[in-house]
A = this chain, B = another copy of it.
């Protein structure tokens, strides 16, 4: 599984039933929470995302619509007696904000919270099945995008065939790595005659809040799914630029230039009651576009 669930898709203010930004990337092993606007823990409960599955949290920047729900989520995890470690990535001042709020309440968390300040572009996280890299985007304040890359999966063994060739089970690990097997009689069993390739590793790029800038293109080149903010419709490009945000057309232009498989747009301004026009405008430039709709789960 490699799936994104949208918990919030709005910018700045909650409006028209839409909540501030939060997403969860779920895999078979871990869940990764990306941004955490106010009310995220309530949205998680609504959409059946388990606290206990969240192993890593990534905060793109310190505008409230991207992190005001974090302290509530962390303290709730502690009240529920979480034991497993939690890894938190974000701008360095985030630690001070959490620390002061724990301190005034005399709260000692029930689990170890490992804070990783964002400072350079590059790999920031390496789990059994995933790497995460950070890259800078251009916003009013220090702001980061994240690239999630599944590791290459091992080849799958056709057990029936492997048995037929009398390959011992002790060699199966080598088969998964792509090695061929030499029988005792000196016959070489080619790897691809007993294994088949795993599906290619999935990739997801999250571009947070950003001004339109083409230097993003190489950072998100060819990903399976690109999330690019689209705070405004195309007629408000000047406002988008002034506020370090992007329009539908600009988001779709990055997707097209980066030759991604699919584009997801979100972070809709609270001035818009309907978000449908966003989809039409983006599709005019990049057909394979979807809207970040709260509660929806997009499988990659």
Assess the A79–B38 pair: CB atoms within 8 A: no
Complex: chain B residue closest to A93, CB-CB? B104
Q: Could you give, for residues 64-80 of chain A, a 1 whenever the CB lies within 8 Å of some chain B CB and a 0 otherwise?
A: 10001101100110011
User: When chains A and B are docked, how far (Å) is the Cα of A82 from the Cα of B137?
Assistant: 30
Report which of B72, B106, B140 forms a contact with A64, defined as CB distance below 8 A: B72
User: When chains A and B are docked, how far (Å) is the Cα of A68 from the Cα of B79?
Assistant: 15
The answer, yes or no, to whether A236 is at the interface (CB within 8 Å) is no
Q: With A41-B38, A68-B71 known to touch, is A63 a contact of B105 (CB < 8 Å)?
A: yes
Assess the A93–B97 pair: CB atoms within 8 A: no
The answer, yes or no, to whether A49 is at the interface (CB within 8 Å) is no
Assess the B91–A38 pair: CB atoms within 8 A: no
Assess the B79–A13 pair: CB atoms within 8 A: yes
Q: Could you give, for residues 157-180 of chain A, a 1 whenever the CB lies within 8 Å of some chain B CB and a 0 otherwise?
A: 000000000000000000000000
The answer, yes or no, to whether A62 is at the interface (CB within 8 Å) is yes
User: When chains A and B are docked, how far (Å) is the Cα of A117 from the Cα of B208?
Assistant: 37
Chain B residues with CB under 8 A of A141: 104-106
Chain B residues with CB under 8 A of A41: 14, 38
Chain B residues with CB under 8 A of A12: 76, 79
The answer, yes or no, to whether A100 is at the interface (CB within 8 Å) is yes
Assess the B80–A72 pair: CB atoms within 8 A: no
Chain B residues with CB under 8 A of A96: 100
Assess the B42–A101 pair: CB atoms within 8 A: no
The answer, yes or no, to whether A39 is at the interface (CB within 8 Å) is yes
Chain B residues with CB under 8 A of A79: 12-13
Complex: chain B residue closest to A94, CB-CB? B104
Assess the B101–A97 pair: CB atoms within 8 A: yes
Chain B residues with CB under 8 A of A14: 41-42, 45, 76
Report which of B64, B76, B101 forms a contact with A105, defined as CB distance below 8 A: B64
Q: With A96-B100, A101-B97 known to touch, is A80 a contact of B38 (CB < 8 Å)?
A: no
User: When chains A and B are docked, how far (Å) is the Cα of A86 from the Cα of B219?
Assistant: 44
Assess the B104–A100 pair: CB atoms within 8 A: no
Chain B residues with CB under 8 A of A97: 97, 100-101, 104
Assess the A38–B72 pair: CB atoms within 8 A: yes
Chain B residues with CB under 8 A of A39: 38-39, 42
| Interface residues of A, Cβ cutoff 8 Å to B | 12-14, 19, 38-39, 41-42, 45, 62-64, 68-69, 71-72, 75-76, 79-80, 91, 93, 96-97, 100-101, 104-106, 140-141
Those 8 A-B pairs whose CB atoms lie nearest each other, nearest first = A62-B104, A38-B72, A93-B104, A68-B72, A39-B39, A64-B75, A13-B76, A14-B42
11 pairs of residues in contact across A and B, judged by CB atoms under 8 Å: A14-B45, A14-B76, A38-B72, A39-B39, A39-B42, A62-B105, A63-B105, A64-B105, A68-B71, A97-B104, A100-B100
